[in-house]
A and B are shown apart, each in its own frame.
Chain A
Amino acid sequence: GAVVSQHPSWVICKSGTSVKIECRSLDFQATTMFWYRQFPKQSLMLMATSNEGSKATYEQGVEKDKFLINHASLTLSTLTVTSAHPEDSSFYICSAGHPGVPNSPLHFGNGTRLTVT
């Protein structure tokens, strides 16, 4: 069964509004989670690393004020797309790996399709 749950699976919002996406690890505690973005027929691009109890680490070119990440507990990370614009429309996917297991594979959520109108 799924080990990482992501919600919602899809969302449509108006330009200028904010959208929150949740990512939960279901049967393990994840001190680190990762947020990816995927455009149609393209690969996954890492946006940021979410660290429980501390600030997220953003990849080069990703606006931290636009993509707010909160990792308040060991099983939940949230990504908030603030003041969304049509160019933010994309497929957002979170992932987590079992802590303490070197090189354990990342498990991915089922993604959130965001459409900004």
Chain B
Amino acid sequence: EDQVTQSPEALRLQEGESSSLNCSYTVSGLRGLFWYRQDPGKGPEFLFTLYSAGEEKEKERLKATLTKKESFLHITAPKPEDSATYLCAVHPGFQGAQKLVFGQGTRLTINP
């Protein structure tokens, strides 16, 4: 069974305190791993797609990395506006178009 597990469930940081969020996955062939940001009461907003182990993507204070078993979302010198729930999702190799399996998310709070 395809599974995605994110840790920690919740994380509180001070502004400027860097950290990493983890996404562990077991899938029957990986066609892509996606990171999304979700604000309360909103739909997920796309951040990154990673396709193969060793790949890295960056956007402002965020950097996503991928290994064969997990992905990390590194947050460098975060600001309060980075507070959100970060969702990881995988596109299993044998699923049809874009049927994603989501993790439960990490609720990130950045205190000023």
CB–CB A105/B43 < 8 A: no
Instruction: Answer yes or no: B96 CB below 8 A from chain A CBs.
Output: yes
Beyond A42-B104, A43-B87, A103-B98, 11 additional pairs, beta carbon < 8 A = A32-B97, A34-B99, A43-B104, A44-B44, A46-B99, A93-B44, A103-B91, A105-B46, A106-B46, A106-B100, A111-B43
> In the complex, A108 Cα to B36 Cα: how many Å?
10
A64 within 8 A of B: no
Please, what's the 1-or-0 string for B70-112, where 1 marks a CB less than 8 Å from any CB in chain A?
A: 0000000000000000010101000011111011110100000
Q: Which residues of B contact A34 (CB under 8 A)?
A: 98-100
Contact with B along A41-58 (1 / 0, CB 8 A): 111111001000000000
Task: Tell whether, in the assembled complex, residue B41 and residue A107 are in contact, meaning their CB atoms are under 8 Å apart.
Answer: no
Q: Across the interface, which residues of B come within 8 angstroms of A97, CB to CB? A: 97-98
